[in-house]
């Protein structure tokens, strides 16, 4: 994959990104075209015959520049690859392609033995505080564990002093009260504080926090976020904040990367992304947040459906099946026709549903992924003329209703052929993450990118 254009665009951002205060800071970590693919083994039969089942592209070509002292938010729904990306930055998942440059070394290429010393500088805070502390270790043992692993202390006195200091920093005071407690004795908020103490005790540079507050009670969330801000200020930390919660990301992050199915679809300074979201997915996410203030409630237009299966991602732009403003080249395929028909049938009375379904022979031919040409057989007692007439009629109806159904933009031809109906779709194009004119935001969407490049 060509990485050159992206490097250039980053350079542009560096040059004129003076609006943000973090623009001139040193680069801490540079991620280029990072890929993390998980191979699927398939069923027992597939394993016996040695047939490969393909791969889930959890992270698929991500470019990031992490500056010192910055808080970068990775935001997306489950399955977007945000957690995998966060873990890969620390080498907890192996990259299958691309590079992660940190202190002149490529973490993606380092062997585990060479990587381990680096981890002192790169720490992680996990989502579930109840599961990330060993229940059999006292707080003294758990929080100080990194010191022992990396051999950072000479004797027990120094050990105790460091652990006490870390506990004080995270607000677990007086430390003597907590040193000999077990995780089970602590509340959720206190556990997360202990996890943070463990993460900072080895004096790291970068903290990857994976949903650090999502398992906590409403009343403590703000407290833990405040603590993280204090730690960042006092210890000169850089954060990667992985979350699905846009509201906390808006408050907490300097830069935000919106992820969808393994890719970054929009990235830029937080205030710009929130005040003027570009990608239809970002817009949808923002509109979906329930707002407690009744004066601000707005009627919602939610995108249909859910995040597709990452093992069989849609063609072109992964968001196109849910996108209200998709264009012809966004990657329309046979599966979208099935979804369209099923959506239509939902609203029909049973008799009409049965009649319309009867026109089509086997709906399952539409289920294969990545088909841009599909031959659809008519149902029993019907011929291809009726079927093609039915589809044309659907297209006709759609052209008169608002909001316009984007699916039909992607259909180039529908014709009869040998007793079947052949439907052809426009050639798919993958949107690239490109800078948007007059802003520091980059977005991967055909509505922007191409026309302005």
Interacting residues with another protein (CB under 8 A): 77-78, 171-173, 177-178, 187-190, 193, 216-223, 225-226, 244-248, 250-251, 274, 284-297, 300, 302-303, 306-307, 342-343, 345-347, 350, 353, 357, 363
CB-CB neighbours of 110 under 10 Å: 16
Q: In whole angstroms, what is the distance from residue 51 CA to residue 49 CA?
A: 5
Q: What's the closest the beta carbon of residue 167 comes to another protein, in angstroms? A: 10
The residue among 340, 323, 321 whose CA lies nearest residue 332 is 321
Tokens of 257: 């990367």
Sign for the CA dihedral angle at 377, 379, 383, 385 comes to negative
- Rounded to a whole number of angstroms, the minimum distance from the CB of residue 304 to another protein is 8
Q: Taking the complex as a whole, how short is the minimal distance between the CB of residue 246 and another protein, in angstroms?
A: 7
Q: In terms of DSSP bridges, do strands 238-243 and 206-210 run parallel, antiparallel, or are they unpaired? A: parallel
Q: In the chain, count H helices and then E strands.
A: 16, 15
Nearest CA to 301 out of 320, 275, 318, 324 is that of: 324
Q: How far apart are CA 65 and CA 9, in angstroms?
A: 11
Minimum Å distance from CB 283 to another protein?
11
Residue with Cβ nearer another protein (34 or 340): 340
Minimum CB distance to another protein smaller for 125 or for 258: 258
Q: Which is nearer to another protein, 121 or 365 (CB)?
A: 365
DSSP letter (8 states) at residue 74: E
- Of 95 and 258, CB closest to another protein: 258
CB of residue 402 vs another protein: minimum separation in angstroms? 19
Residue number with CB closer to another protein (49 or 219): 219
Q: How many CB atoms lie within 10 A of CB 445?
A: 26
Task: Give the residue among 142, 200, 139 at the shortest CA–CA distance from 172.
Answer: 139
Q: How far is the CB of 316 from another protein (least distance, A)?
A: 20
> Closest distance between another protein and the C-beta of residue 306, in Å?
5
Supply the minimum distance, in Å, between the C-beta of residue 294 and another protein. 4
CA dist., res. 220 & res. 76, Å (int): 23
To the nearest 10°, the Cα dihedral for 341, 344, 347, 350? Answer: -40
| Residue keyed to tokens 């299958």 | 96
- Taking the least distance from each CB to another protein, the nearer of 350 and 381 is 350
What's the closest the beta carbon of residue 339 comes to another protein, in angstroms? 9
Specify whether the backbone of 250 is left (phi greater than 0), alpha (psi in -120 to 50) or beta: alpha
Strand intervals (E) in 169-247: 206-210, 238-243
Nearest to 102 by CA among 94, 90, 112: 90
- The residue among 278 and 283 lying less far from another protein, judged by its C-beta, is 283
How far is the C-alpha of 312 from the C-alpha of 57, rounded, in Å?
9
Q: 162 or 169, CB closer to another protein? A: 169
Which lies closer to another protein via its Cβ, residue 349 or residue 418?
A: 349
Q: Which is nearer to another protein, 86 or 428 (CB)?
A: 86
Q: How far is the CB of 360 from another protein (least distance, A)?
A: 10
Distance CA 362, CA 376 (A): 8
């Amino acid at each position: 994959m060509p990485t050159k254009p992206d490097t250039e665009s980053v350079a542009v951002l560096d040059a004129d990104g003076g609006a943000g205060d973090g623009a001139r800071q040193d680069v801490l970590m540079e991620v280029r075209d990072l890929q993390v693919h998980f191979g699927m083994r398939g069923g027992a039969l597939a394993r016996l015959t040695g047939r490969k089942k393909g791969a889930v592209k959890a992270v698929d070509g991500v470019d990031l520049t992490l500056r010192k002292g910055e808080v970068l938010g990775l935001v997306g729904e489950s399955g977007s690859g945000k957690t995998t990306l966060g873990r890969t930055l620390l080498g907890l998942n192996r990259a299958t392609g691309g590079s992660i440059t940190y202190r002149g070394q490529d973490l993606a290429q380092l062997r585990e033995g060479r990587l381990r010393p680096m981890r002192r500088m790169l720490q992680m805070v996990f989502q579930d505080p109840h599961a990330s502390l060993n229940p059999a270790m006292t707080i003294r043992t758990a929080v100080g564990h990194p010191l022992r692993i990396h051999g950072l202390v000479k004797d027990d006195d120094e050990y105790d002093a460091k652990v006490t200091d870390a506990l004080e920093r995270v607000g677990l005071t007086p430390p003597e009260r907590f040193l000999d407690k077990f995780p089970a004795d602590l509340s959720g908020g206190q556990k997360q504080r202990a996890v943070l103490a463990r993460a900072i005790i080895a004096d790291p540079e970068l903290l990857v926090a994976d949903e650090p507050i999502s398992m906590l009670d409403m009343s403590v969330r703000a407290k833990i976020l405040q603590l993280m801000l204090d730690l960042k200020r006092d210890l000169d930390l850089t954060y990667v904040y992985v979350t699905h919660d846009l509201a906390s990301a808006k408050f907490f992050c300097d830069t935000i990367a919106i992820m969808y199915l393994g890719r970054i679809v929009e990235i830029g300074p937080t205030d710009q992304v929130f005040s003027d979201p570009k990608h239809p997915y970002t817009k949808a996410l923002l509109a979906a947040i329930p707002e407690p203030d009744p004066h601000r409630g707005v009627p919602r237009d939610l995108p249909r459906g859910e995040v597709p299966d990452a093992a069989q991602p849609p063609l072109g732009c992964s968001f196109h099946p849910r996108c209200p403003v998709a264009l012809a080249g966004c990657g329309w395929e046979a599966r979208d026709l099935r979804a369209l028909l099923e959506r239509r049938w939902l609203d029909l009375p049973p008799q009409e549903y049965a009649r319309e379904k009867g026109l089509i022979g086997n709906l399952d031919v539409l289920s294969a992924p990545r088909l841009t040409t599909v031959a659809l057989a008519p149902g029993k007692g019907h011929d291809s003329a009726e079927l093609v007439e039915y589809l044309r009629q659907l297209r006709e109806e759609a052209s008169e209703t608002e909001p316009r159904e984007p699916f039909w933009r992607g259909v180039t031809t529908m014709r009869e052929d040998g007793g079947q109906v052949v439907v052809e779709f426009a050639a798919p194009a993958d949107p690239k993450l490109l800078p948007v004119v007059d802003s520091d935001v980059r977005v991967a969407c055909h509505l922007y990118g191409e026309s302005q490049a």
